[in-house]
Chains A and B, each alone.
Chain A
Amino acid sequence: MARFPPTIPRRTRIQYGALGLLLFFALWWFLTAPFFTEVQTLREAIEGPDGEITGYREVKREVSSAIVNPPGLETPWNTFNRAFEIGLPQHILRSTLRILIGFLISTLLAVPLGIAMGLFPRLRATVSPIVSLMRPLPSIAWVPLFVIWFGVDEAQKLAVIFVGSFAAALIYTIEATLKVEPDMIRAATNLGASRRQLLTRVLLPAALPNIISGLKVVLAICWTCVISAEIVGTQLGLGSLIWNRKEISDTAAVLVGMASISVVVLLMDAAFGWFERRLVPWMFLRRDAS
């Protein structure tokens, strides 16, 4: 093997990615397209003149059916069309805004605290047990409490997103700080850096790549909180959409909601990557022949 890990140019990667998506949609269409017609036998109530049931009969009904027929799973085209029936753009916008703001709050609090915890072992030892206790709690567990504390406005929703993602952001930041090469710090002090200069000119840029890759994951974690965040006090949002539509057995709309979340996360990931290439360009340089 000439090089490990094997790599391909970006353009090729995009082409294969597009192919992958195409295959996925092709498979979806293939499984749900109404190739067959099926004769369904249904019960029908026979009514008397006053509306009372006097008996039942069997009625045959010709329906189109596909290779798989789980309720609510339709062809990609139908699902796509459903999106317009339920006012999807508004839902997407509202959820995206909430997630972004919740994410920012988490980040702005977690990154400084995480760096501090990385630098001060006593602080880390004090705070870590609390974080460990909170970390495994699913965001939904916090909802009733937050309704009591914050009511049903946006603050409550942001709090749910915050509490679902803060611990992860903190832990990633601490790790990133601890992973900074000690010799780099030594070299900097050896070159005469003061404590403040050490923090701003060395530690921060050194830890930044790992902090950013951690935050990428945290953003996706924020999205996993979207349903619990929107379960109370709102009619708008992808989480609210999924939950409410589930209650009325509108599986098609639920799938639209889920697919929307996936697409938005994908786009956000790409955007994040774009930021990453600008904030830490040195992580993407390759070695020249030298």
Chain B
Amino acid sequence: MRLFAVLVLCVLSVGCGGEKDDNTIVYAGSAWYGHAPVWVGIQKGIFEKHGFKVEERMFGSSSDRINALEAGNAQFASLGEVAMLTAMSRDRRGFYWIGCQNIAPGNEGLVAVGGITSIADLKGKKIALQRITSIHLTVALLLEDAGLDITKDVEILNATDSSVVDIVRRGDAVAGGMWEPFYTDLRGLEGATVLGTDKDTSIYKRFKTMSGPDVICASKAWIDKDSARAKKFFQAYWEAVAWCKDNPKELLDLVVAHLGKDREAVKTALQNFEWLTWDEQRSMLSPKRMFGQAQVASELLKRLGQLDSIPKFKDWTRLDWFLE
């Protein structure tokens, strides 16, 4: 009987453990390089300096992070723009689109094996990629430029992470599209030819951004509660972003240590990262850059059947912070 009571108390106290004070901010992240500013902010004490405590929690997919923001399980997150746009199209109003912390073109691409050297040769063949993500858009755009329709002229095999590489290696698909580090793995396959990266797409050529870049979103409830404080927090966050920009070598060390990955692989990936500062956000969130890109991306997603209607994404932004 006593044992039972002790067990019940333990279970209850675990439930209570989630209580946080107002200053602990939960960040929904993962092992992707785009989350580096948060690791920097925590480890280099930048958040602490401004009186904030940040805790990173792992959420596998971008859509899960949006749900976390809306439910209040996380306060801010970096996630894929595709997930953000689809959530917006479903009228999810529980989050804000704060900004864009990096541009990193060249970190994802389409690789073919078996003697295929041009995109046009992919007609009627199978391509492995992770659907409804930036790579899906990239490949759609690359195919479009070569006169192919992704919904009709090729067969897409959906897979996640390393499975994309395995599928191509097995020969179940002649080409695969994925982002780092799997992009490097694809290029390492026998007979691999790079058919194109997100740098070769029409979106990049027009807007100088990737097909579905990382964006920063935050919980509406948290920001509305104390907008001034939230703004102060994001300025601190962008201070960490600026640090990433100004200290590439230390950043490399930090990321390698944090991820436990091979130094060369990390170096290759980080080389493509352009970190965008607080002051640059205003020009990023404009029709020439992100708004134009978001419009084109939304239209593409609509053609791919993933959206019913193009969202008015501007309504989710907080440019008032940057306009002051």
Contacts and interface: CB of A to CB of B under 8 A. Distances in A.
Given A51-B287, A151-B172, A152-B159, A44 B166 contact: no
Given A52-B286, A244-B131, A249 B167 contact: no
Contacts of B66: 249
Contact of A248 (B86, B316, B323): B86
B163 A144 contact: yes
B73 interface: no
Interface in B149-169: 157-163, 166-167
B163 A147 contact: yes
Nearest to A231: B160
A144 B92 contact: no
A71 B70 contact: yes
Contact of B63 (A147, A233, A247): A247
A231 B63 CA distance: 16
Interface string B65-98: 0110010000000000001001100101100000
B170 interface: yes
A288 interface: no
A148 B70 CA distance: 37
B266 interface: no
B317 interface: yes
B57 interface: no
A148 B166 contact: yes
Interface string A143-154: 110011001110
B291 A51 contact: yes
Given A53-B317, A144-B162, A248 B287 contact: no
B307 interface: yes
A52 B291 CA distance: 9
Nearest to B156: A235
A234 interface: yes
B319 to A, nearest CB: 5
Contact of B90 (A51, A71, A153): A71
A147 B93 contact: no
A134 interface: no
Contacts of A248: 63, 83, 86-87, 90, 132, 306-307
11 contacts: A44-B312, A51-B286, A53-B314, A53-B317, A53-B323, A55-B323, A144-B161, A144-B162, A144-B166, A247-B132, A248-B86
8 shortest interchain CB distances as A-B pairs: A51-B287, A45-B314, A248-B86, A249-B87, A151-B172, A147-B163, A148-B166, A232-B159
Interface of B: 61-63, 66-67, 70, 83, 86-87, 90, 92-93, 128, 131-132, 157-163, 166-167, 170, 172-173, 285-287, 291, 306-307, 312, 314-317, 319-320, 323
